[in-house]
Amino acid sequence: MWYTVTGTAAVKRLDRHDEKREVKEMTHEEFQAAIDYWKEKDAGSVKMERAKLVEAVDAYIRSKNTGALATGAGDFVRCTPLEYSYHDGAFWIFSEGGEKFIALEKNDNVCLAIFDGYGSPGGLHGMQVMGKAEMVEPFSEAYMAHAAYRKVPAELLKKQSPPMNLIRIRPTRIDYLCSEFKKAGCSSRQSLVLEE
């Protein structure tokens, strides 16, 4: 065991032996119970009218421009904070590159988390967007239309070598947690399943 002194306080640090006593070895059944938690809770929840949920989801997505994109393939996982745009029913992300492409090459299933900072239990606000990622062909009609939407000059994009990558994510399911939903008599967690 060892200590770190910060100011006048000594902070106790655990050695490896003590850490092992803090780690719980969960059984398959305990993992399954944790996995099923929201499925069981959602089964008895008060659902919001779909049109109102779509409106709330759209408004929240458009009120933000930053999220965390989770990608994975095999043992590799990556969670990348990035800027997005949302239009034409999809999320659009310009990217020079990075290790997220290790997973994107092998697995088009992604999750984009959009959220507010935690303030209090009654102020929860965030969503998980599950979807399919695809790479948009550089300088294609869709690529240039998104550049125009973002007000990025075509000349600037054409000067870059290699060209800027454009990731389009088509959402398939959005789980939205918003404490405000309770005021409307609905459960705070709502799920919106979209067509693939």
Q: Identify the DSSP state of 126.
A: E
DSSP state of 163: P
pTM as predicted: 0.83
- Alpha-carbon distances, residue 155 vs 67, 152, 163 (angstroms): 28, 9, 12
Angle at 140 between CA 137 and CA 143, to 5 degrees: 80
Q: What are the structural domains of the chain? A: 49-193 (2.30.110.10)
Per-residue pLDDT of the chain (196 residues; tens, 9 = 90+): 444 555 555 555 555 556 567 888 899 999 999 999 988 888 889 999 999 999 999 999 999 999 999 999 999 999 999 999 999 999 999 999 999 999 999 999 999 999 998 877 778 899 999 999 999 999 999 999 999 999 999 999 988 889 999 999 999 999 999 999 999 999 999 999 997 5
Q: Hey, how many other C-beta atoms are within 10 angstroms of the C-beta on 93?
A: 21
